[in-house]
A and B are shown apart, each in its own frame.
Chain A
Amino acid sequence: MLSTIVNIHAFASPVTDNQFNRIDSILSLKEVSITAIKQGSNLQNEAISSTTLSSKNIERLNINSTNGISEIVPNFYIPEYGSRMTSSIYVRGLGARIDQPVVGLNVDNIPILNKDNYDFNLLDISRIEMLRGSQSTLFGRNTMGGLINIYTLSPLNYQGLRILAQYSSGNTYQAAVSYYTKINDNLGFSILGSYYSTDGFFKNIYNNENCDWEHSGNGRIKLSWNPGKVKVENTFSFSISRQGGYPYEYVETKEINYNDTCFYRRNNFNDGLTIRWNIKDIEMSSISSFQYLDDNMTLDQDFLPIPYFTLTQSRKEYALTQDLIAKGKVGNKYKWLGGLFGFYKDTDMNAPVTFLDAGIEKLIEHNRNDINPNYPIRWDERELLLNSIFNNTSFGIAAYHQSDYKIGRWKFSAGIRFDYEKSILKYNSNCDSGYTIYKVDDDKSAEVFRNDPVIIDDSGSLSKSFLQILPKFSVLYNLPMQSPSNIFMSISKGYKAGGFNTQMFSDVLQQKIMSIMGLSAKYNVDDIVGYKPEISWTYEVGTHIECLDRKIQTDISLFYIDCTNQQLTVFPDGTTTGRIMTNAGKSRSLGAEIAIKMLPTKHCELNASYGYTNAKFNEFNNGKSDFSGNYVPYAPQNTLFVGTVYTLDINADWLENIIFDANVRGVGRIYWDEANTIAQPFYALLGISVKFAHKKFSLQLWGENITGTKYNTFYFVSMSNAFLQRGNKARFGATLRITI
């Protein structure tokens, strides 16, 4: 796609460098230019709970990826575990570890369809917005918990050369160069390239090497064109990532110790084109994208130094999205927005599971021979390949509308979305192997009884379609105060798409083998592989308050979420291979959030946010146990962020100021299982930084978790073995930024 320029939607007033330095916080949007299309120009004036991070904030808090905004946003938690593929986001008790997410991610208004692409290096980010609560009416599938909007720098708003060099613990370094220029008044061009590398922090004692190493590169080319009547912006980005990942520690031995290869390789590129134009008084926008993903996850699936089994998931996927939006108003009281959205996604995946010697012995032979020791079996070969190949095509179309009506201080909003989606899965599962049955006589001698082949070649097609109607309603009242302040209430329906759990096919194949051997098959493919959409209703009241000439800004919200058919990730009976997604029945989540920003002096700033969530199952019986009344696992009950910034003016030619920052991030309690038998208690991480700032460069010395708090970010049980991932240890580093 050729490059074109986009113009920012609205400038309330231009922002000076000084103002940027002072607005060095989680800030409101009054002074900041807006590129959002569907939302209002100032989120603080909307009936939405939201948090916005400026570029200064992102840099000062050393936020290098989407994980970095965890806990800063109340009730918002992105644990760091596994690999770049495992981007599990939990918001207000809602979340998912595999398949569909509850939070959408837009980058420059482009919806990123695959959650496995959510974790990428953030560079030259203009701002990040986190909208909490269901955004499904305007943004559709997989936004029932909220939406993250990331906006990158535009060459029409910023010009110059930027250089970043960073070094930190674990021999971790990052280098980035970006150049922004205006070719003419209407045409801007930018290019960015970066490289990141780390040796990792966690050692696999089996081979005495760090397992969480990573090398990755990113690039972005942006063209923005604003000839006047049409505003066009095209962003092409790519990412290449290679990492070991998966530093899972076996609870029993407290060791990371596994013998087979684990790695995650990802190549992806996206191209997004945004065009804006007016038809009379109607603002039209077209947002198109092409997204490509090519990745390979290979795991020692048992994470033990014993050859049980390995898993590979190799995938190629491409997706197209198109959003057509029209906005208009009638007089000063009525505004409307309508749109059409469509997407198409095609995924080819090859997911073989290989049982190795110990896996064959324990998971197949032992199970079988335990129930018939008189006729034991032995597999003919000591490697058993269960091969699964899939093609998943999904597409959807949606129409949506929202109307806003103002009467005096009141604003009433109502919206609705009709969303249809279909997913078709074609699969082939095959296996070509065999085993020998022996007959054991009374004298314990064994003779061959029979040799049985195991030849499976199953193909089939499954399809599911979903039709959702997603309404929302909100009321906002502007308080009679000098600074913009309001209270609001909202009701909205959210939706997380259903789909197919391809990881379960290896289990289905394994059970087929058992049934060939005379042990009854446990799973019905249709029942287990597919899962239904998750539906939520969110009820929320909140307030945005500014006072003392915006020196104190407070956001408070109370929410209640009803969730049906909640999708939960569980591991099946202890001797199977993968995870499954089940629709857990019903859950409810209630809680509160508060975020405060204070500017007591022009040199000092305080930010604090706290989120509380009480998320429990109303109904959840997995056929073996009843978990009704238990806490929803993996969703934290509390999140906390407290940060203070002090700017010391130097005003020398070589040094403008020194910025001191100290912050605390806290999260917990987090239950790790539906039975609520094991949990991560609340923990807090202390971070500090000192930044020496000049107009053209800055040097920031920083530390994260400087007290070395020990905590866990992930826990799971597989084959009756418990594993966890430790949280990041104390890290220290330095970041040099040069802007020319």
Chain B
Amino acid sequence: MKKLLFFLPLVLLFLTSCESSDPKNEVTVNAFQVNRIINTADNSIRMTNCQYAYRVDYITATIDITIPSLKLAETDESVSFAVTGLKLSSSSKTGLTYKASAPFTPVINGKEDSKYSVTSLSGIIFNNELKLNLEISSPSGTFKVFASESDAIYSFGNTVITNLRDVNADPFKREDIAYVFSLDPSKKTASLFIANAKFATLMPEIAMTFSGLTLEPTATGYKITGTDVIPTSNNIPYQKYIITDFNGTLENDKVNFSFVCAGTFKVDVTATMNSVTE
């Protein structure tokens, strides 16, 4: 099913149309995402919320990307960034990908600005959002920008639960739990939603949300930590299942994290972001 949905745009690419400007041959998407920005001069890292807009033309197989408000350095004014006519390609493993074939001058605030230069730009379209890797020179320096979705779903994978109060018990394992991380760089927080949290045989499945986890950008992704987090379900706190020692990393399409629930269950998770590759 995932493959089918993913290749639907490819199918549309092969539809013939006499009118290249026919709206049926285009799709425009606005997505609210997060940016992780590395200043190559001092390797400092910051993160921001960011809106992306892109338009895909199925006839010409190109993508135009617009960032209405891009702020590279903390002290910079926000500028709009745009690039048009990037070539789209596809593969069964990576899906729809785009890449600038050579360095170019982007459109800044509506016109090409030679003070900016894009060294490299590439990425994929994933779940209607952009994963984007951008290296750009600006008046305030050279930056690497990594854009990703603000709500990242990591499905299933391996969840191993160890009972800290019974060292002889076999670990409780599950492969059917899905984890959804929501990132908010503006507040430097992340939340984790687990639709079917169950850490022991006798524990009922609970739809749990861990809110207020600490979010930090790293050179390769994000680090999420937290302790004494009271999970909620249906907006009701569940003191009994208090979370301590939450430590995790989100890097590309992988997530690894662990935490202790109710002071008893040590939960270790390794999962992969929902992906079209199989």
Contacts and interface: CB of A to CB of B under 8 A. Distances in A.
Interface of A: 367, 371-375, 437, 449-450, 452, 514-522
B207 to A, nearest CB: 5
B195 A517 contact: no
Nearest to B230: A374
8 contacts: A371-B203, A371-B206, A371-B240, A371-B241, A375-B236, A375-B238, A516-B234, A518-B236
B10 interface: no
B253 interface: no
Contacts of B204: 367, 371, 514, 519-520
Contacts of A450: 236
Interface residues of B, number: 17
Contacts of A437: 236
B207 A372 contact: no
A519 B240 contact: no
Contact of A522 (B205, B233, B234, B239): B205
B180 interface: no
B263 interface: no
Given A374-B240, A520-B204, 15 more contacts: A371-B204, A371-B240, A372-B233, A372-B236, A372-B239, A373-B240, A374-B238, A437-B236, A449-B236, A514-B204, A518-B206, A518-B236, A520-B195, A520-B196, A521-B205
A371 B236 contact: no
Contacts of A514: 204
A446 B238 CA distance: 16
Contacts of A371: 203-204, 206, 238, 240-241
B237 A374 contact: yes
B139 to A, nearest CB: 51
Contact of B240 (A372, A516, A518): A372
A437 B197 CA distance: 21
Contacts, number: 48
Contacts of A518: 206-207, 233-234, 236
Nearest to B206: A519
A521 B196 CA distance: 8
A392 B259 CA distance: 48
A126 B236 CA distance: 70
Contacts of B206: 371, 518-520
Interface string B93-130: 00000000000000000000000000000000000000
B201 to A, nearest CB: 9
**Which of B197, B204, B205, B237 counts the most A-chain CB atoms under 10 A from its CB?**
B204
B104 to A, nearest CB: 49
A374 B237 CA distance: 8
**Which of A371, A449, A450, A520 counts the most B-chain CB atoms under 10 A from its CB?**
A520
Interface string B203-228: 11111000000000000000000000
B194 to A, nearest CB: 9
B205 A517 contact: no
Contacts of A452: 234
B233 A519 contact: yes
Contacts of B241: 371
A452 B203 CA distance: 24
A452 B195 CA distance: 20
Interface in B230-255: 233-234, 236-241
A520 B236 contact: no
**Which of A372, A437, A515 counts the most B-chain CB atoms under 10 A from its CB?**
A372
Nearest to B232: A518
> Which 10 pairs between the two chains have the least Cβ-Cβ distance?
A518-B233, A520-B205, A518-B234, A520-B196, A374-B239, A375-B236, A372-B238, A520-B207, A519-B204, A518-B207
A514 B207 CA distance: 10
**Which of A437, A517, A518, A519 counts the most B-chain CB atoms under 10 A from its CB?**
A518
Contacts of A367: 204
B229 to A, nearest CB: 15
**Which of B195, B233, B241 counts the most A-chain CB atoms under 10 A from its CB?**
B233
Nearest to A367: B204
A517 B241 CA distance: 16
B238 A519 contact: no
Nearest to A452: B234
B207 A515 contact: yes
A514 B234 CA distance: 11
A399 B204 CA distance: 50
B234 A517 contact: yes
A374 B236 CA distance: 10
Contacts of B236: 372, 375, 437, 449-450, 518
B69 to A, nearest CB: 37
A521 B205 CA distance: 8
A375 B240 contact: no
